[in-house]
């Protein structure tokens, strides 16, 4: 889906003026702008370049743009003050950067209430979707990460899946008029997230087909899926028409590409050649600490992005 034009030009301009002093505070620590843009829209997150750009979110976004990044994601966006959300949105607009995911169901993602079809948990989830519409508007976002919680130990998985599908259909009624997209994230059970309802791409694919809405797609986190099922490129092809978003992390360690076993240059080439124009979130840590680690991370992305 195309991004919805949520942020008005006048509001973005006013926000940019309000942030002028914040941009100046990191001017001496940022390298000179003008770096060539990456082939794909890799999206760093706050904190990834804090040793170069400082703690201010606006300065960090400017640093990302100066290094050639064309997107940004922020899992914790809904937890930030409205004023901070608006500043982030204005900074992205000024730098022509695309907003990636934020976590849409921050509270209704724990426990097995969604899988059990619990009415109170379903209501909480749908209330969070309504609130996410306003969050998305402030930053011109399209996608929000959805975590579906845990499996219930005493109920067949098919019944649990039916409960999930019904909840997601109701959520789509809220999101679809605004051009917003939930992306369902399967999480690996072996290293980070045991007993999650959604662990594999085929299960997410089945759910998206059952929901049958452009507002319900898959978040293909390649770190999680390398651990859970591997076969990354083939699974990308098999699930392609239901994938709305990608996230990145090497295995083992969940750090930047080139630090583990995954051949991200080949994976990125494959995604690019399939015509993907969306965002790939950099949901991983820095392998090395400090400024040196941030420089090494950028160098690693330049290496794996050189696939053309």
Convert the pLDDT of each residue in 222-232 to its tens digit.
999 999 999 99
Tell me if 283 is assigned to some domain.
Answer: yes
| Dihedral sign for Cα atoms in the order 185, 118, 76, 94 | positive
Tell me if 1 is assigned to some domain.
Answer: no
Q: Which domain holds residue 131?
A: 9-305
The arithmetic mean of pLDDT across residues 131-147, rounded, is: 98
Give the pLDDT of residue 26: 34
- pLDDT of 30 strictly over 90: no
- pLDDT category of residue 151 using cuts at 50, 70 and 90: very high
Give the pLDDT of residue 169: 98
Tell me if 284 is assigned to some domain.
Answer: yes
CB-count burial class (<10 Å; 0-12, 13-18, 19+) for 169 = middle
> Coil, helix or strand for 130?
helix
Tell me if 2 is assigned to some domain.
Answer: no
Tell me if 79 is assigned to some domain.
Answer: yes
H or E element: which one contains 280?
Answer: strand 279-281
- pLDDT category of residue 5 using cuts at 50, 70 and 90: very low
pTM summary value: 0.89
Give the pLDDT of residue 35: 81
- pLDDT of 1 strictly over 50: no
What phi, psi does 184 have (nearest 5°)?
Answer: -80, 130
Least confident of 101-110, 230-239, 276-285: 101-110
Residue 149 φ/ψ region, left for φ over 0, alpha for ψ in the -120 to 50 degree band, beta for the rest: left
Tell me if 3 is assigned to some domain.
Answer: no
Tokens of 108: 């209704």
Using an 8 Å Cβ cutoff, are 184 and 218 in contact?
yes
Rounded to the nearest integer, the mean pLDDT of the chain is 91
Give the pLDDT of residue 145: 98
Using an 8 Å Cβ cutoff, are 236 and 248 in contact?
no
Give the pLDDT of residue 66: 97
**CA neighbours within 13 Å on the CB side: how many for 116?**
14
- Kindly report the CA angle at 120 between 158 and 100, in degrees rounded to 5? 75
Preceding peptide of 31 cis, ω within 30°: no
| Dihedral sign for Cα atoms in the order 25, 30, 36, 37 | negative
Give the pLDDT of residue 12: 34
Q: What does the chain come to in residues?
A: 308
Tell me if 251 is assigned to some domain.
Answer: yes
- pLDDT of 13 strictly over 80: no
The arithmetic mean of pLDDT across residues 130-144, rounded, is: 98
Least confident of 33-42, 55-64, 190-199, 241-250: 33-42
Tokens of 200: 């594999």
- pLDDT per position as a tens digit, 229-275: 999 999 999 999 999 999 999 999 999 999 999 999 999 999 999 99
Give the pLDDT of residue 80: 97
- pLDDT of 31 strictly over 60: no
Give the pLDDT of residue 108: 82
The arithmetic mean of pLDDT across residues 116-125, rounded, is: 96
The arithmetic mean of pLDDT across residues 68-81, rounded, is: 98
Give the pLDDT of residue 124: 96
Tell me if 27 is assigned to some domain.
Answer: yes
Q: In 147-263, which ranges are continuous DSSP H helix? A: 157-175, 201-211, 222-228, 232-238
Q: What is the CATH number of the domain that holds 139?
A: 3.20.20.150
- pLDDT of 15 strictly over 50: no
Total domain count for the chain?
1
Give the pLDDT of residue 107: 87
């Amino acid at each position: 889906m195309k991004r919805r034009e949520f942020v008005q030009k006048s509001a973005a301009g006013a926000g940019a003026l309000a942030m002028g002093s914040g941009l100046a505070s990191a001017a001496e620590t940022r390298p000179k702008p003008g770096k060539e843009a990456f082939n794909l829209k890799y999206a760093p997150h706050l904190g990834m370049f804090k040793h170069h750009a400082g703690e201010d979110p606006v300065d960090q976004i400017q640093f990302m743009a100066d290094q050639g990044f064309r997107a940004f994601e922020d899992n914790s966006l809904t937890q930030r003050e409205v004023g901070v959300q608006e500043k982030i949105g204005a900074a992205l607009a000024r730098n022509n950067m695309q907003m990636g995911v934020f976590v849409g169901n921050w509270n209704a993602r724990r426990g097995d209430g969604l899988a059990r079809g619990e009415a109170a948990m379903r209501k909480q989830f749908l209330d969070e979707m309504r609130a996410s519409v306003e969050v998305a508007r402030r930053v011109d976002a399209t996608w929000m990460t959805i975590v579906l919680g845990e499996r219930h130990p005493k109920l067949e998985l098919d019944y649990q899946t039916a409960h999930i599908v019904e909840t997601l259909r109701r959520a789509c009624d809220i999101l679809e008029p605004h051009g917003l997209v939930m992306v369902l994230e399967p999480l690996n059970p072996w290293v980070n997230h045991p007993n999650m309802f959604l662990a594999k791409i085929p299960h997410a694919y089945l759910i998206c087909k059952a929901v049958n809405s452009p507002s319900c797609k898959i978040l293909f986190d390649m770190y999680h899926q390398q651990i859970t099922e591997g076969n990354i490129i083939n699974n990308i092809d098999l699930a392609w028409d239901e994938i709305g978003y990608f996230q990145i992390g090497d295995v083992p360690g969940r750090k930047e590409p080139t630090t583990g076993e995954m051949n991200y240059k080949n994976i990125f080439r494959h995604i690019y050649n399939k015509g993907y124009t969306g965002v790939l979130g950099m949901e991983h840590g820095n392998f090395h600490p400090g400024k040196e680690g941030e420089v090494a991370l950028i160098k690693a992305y330049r290496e794996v992005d050189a696939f053309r």
